[in-house]
Amino acid sequence: MDQPSKHDIFKTGEDLATKYLISNGYRLVCRNFRTRSGEIDIIVETDQHLIFVEVKTRTFHSIETALASVSYTKQKKISKTAQEYINLNEQYGNHIFRFDVIVVFRNASTNTYSIHHLEDAFYPIIDE
């Protein structure tokens, strides 16, 4: 049996993270929002909260390693991109903003996935 490519694994991780969020009452606003500043994997809304979600899909099962890949520089790019999204979508101006990380682990031997959702994973980093 062919092994899925890294791209396929990452796409599956984002798809599963999106389904997970929707099944937990979040409303999908946008996927893969890109600007020159960076990309936000998933944007969802719930109860006047606009949540910017970074998805990390891994085959090595370590939360610490996955979270370490959301570095200060990555957080800064996500924060700037989120600000650009808010500036382009004024209807979210009165929302409370949050930055979450979803870690999706793939078990290669069973081809199954598990999801770990970390709410408020980091605070926005804004340049002065």
Q: Write the DSSP string, 8-23.
A: HHHHHHHHHHHHHHHH
Q: Is 40:83 a contact under the CB 8 Å cutoff?
A: no
C-alpha 14: how far from chain center: 8
pLDDT given for residue 2 in this prediction: 67
* Nearest residue to 78 (alpha-carbon basis) of 55, 47, 112: 55
State the DSSP H helix or E strand holding residue 56, giving kind and residue range, or none if neither. strand 49-58
| Domains defined for the chain, CATH in brackets | 6-118 (3.40.1350.10)
Burial (Cβ within 10 Å: 0-12, 13-18, ≥19) of residue 99:
buried
pLDDT given for residue 111 in this prediction: 83
- pTM over the 0.95 mark: no
pLDDT given for residue 128 in this prediction: 56
Chunked into runs of 10 residues, the chain (128 residues) has average pLDDT values of 79 96 98 96 96 92 83 95 96 95 91 93 85
